[in-house]
Amino acid sequence: MWLFYLIVFLIPSNLAKHFILPSSYVGGSLVDYLIPTLYLTDILIILLLLLKPIKSIPRPIIVFLLCLLPSVIFSASPIPAIYKWFKFGEMGLLVAWIKENHVTLSNARAIKSVTLAVVFQSVLAVGQWLNQGSLFNYWFLGEQPYTSATAGIDKITWFDGSLKIPPLGTTPHPNVLAGFLVMGPSLLYFDKVGPYAILTLIPLFLTFSLSAWLAFLIRNKWTLLAGLTGLIIFGRSLSFMAPESSFSRRSQLSQMAIAMLKDRPLTGVGLNNFTVVMDHYGYIPATTRFLQPVHNIYLLLLSETGLIGFLGFGYLLVKGRSWFTDKVRPCHPVLLLLFLGLFDHWPLTLQTGLLLLFLTL
């Protein structure tokens, strides 16, 4: 069905309607992760399920959703928790739909959809870098409007000392774009560095996402050698990529997550509630108020959903691998995403991450 291939193409799209509620604020500060959001891909998934309803839901999905319920019931802020639970449920239904229809789906068309998406995002990213700002506007598949004067926009120090804005594509953050570019070749079964993989190298480099660089390097021994050589040659110049303040914030967030788990070992502090309660576990100095989830999906799951939710997620991953043969869904995209999850939260907190995670199960 063409809707499925369109969803695949729109994985990196950020186009959505946001519904700001009182529960979206923490101490007067609006938190993006607490805003119920209806994405264009959500609408397409709903249409897909309505036009061709599923007959059953796989047990791993049911178990996972049931394991999340305690973290919803005992959450400090129920609305963000309920919204997130339904978001996981939606992704689970999409997986169920794929399971029931994978025989009739065209692998070649899916590959074309991913190819077009990666090529489009790569070209757009290079254009954004050259322009040092967005090229179109938000209604163009959700491209975030920004310039060098946009408040809070991420900037890196280039080799000549000037400040540069990493490209976003149509994603909300350079790290998300980088993750998608890394996942692309693996989704297309390319294990070697060929013309397609090389196409992603330039925009991937321009995102300055160290975790995505590492994920790309571990895919192939030759790129690993090239990367190590680059680190040796440019090591001192690349030190700007991970400033001490970033490491400090990540460390503090990790300590908060561990403290939350100790307080609520079974149910956690509540699904999608990390930013709601983080002020009770410390303060992170920043230019503006810093309200972000811990940059590690495993600590995030443990702190928000406790051991019950974490075990449910583990069960989903283990059992999910038996739903498809390796020919239909290779394992390495999942492993790459789980690797990226060691360094960031977007595989669980943002739409692109959730789509990549569940579509590669």
Both tokens of residue 80? 């963000």
Separation between Cα atoms, residue 187 and residue 117, nearest integer Å: 12
SS3 string, 44-99, reads HHHHHHHHCCCCCCCHHHHHHHHHHHHHHHCCCCHHHHHHHHHHHHHHHHHHHHHH
Q: Mean pLDDT throughout 104-109? A: 87
Residue 124, pLDDT > 50, answer: yes
Token code pair at residue 290: 């810093």
Please classify residue 179 by burial: count the beta carbons closer than 10 Å to its beta carbon, then call 0-12 exposed, 13-18 middle and 19+ buried: buried
| 46-50, 184-188, 191-195, 322-326: range with highest mean pLDDT | 46-50
pTM of the model: 0.89
Residue 199 and residue 133 share a domain: yes
Residue 1 falls inside a structural domain: no
In this prediction, residues 78-90 reach a mean pLDDT of 98
Domain stops at, among 181, 207, 241 = 241
The pLDDT of residue 140 is 80
Residue 236 binned pLDDT confidence (cut-offs 50, 70, 90): very low
Q: How many domains does the chain have?
A: 2
77 and 129 within one domain: no
* Mean pLDDT across 32-45: 98
Whether 55 is covered by a domain: the verdict is yes
Domain shared by 122 and 93, yes or no: no
For residue 169, what are the domain limits? 107-241
Same domain, 132 and 185: yes
Dihedrals φ, ψ of 17, to 5°? Answer: -105, 125
Distance in angstroms (rounded) separating the CA atoms of residues 361 and 359: 6
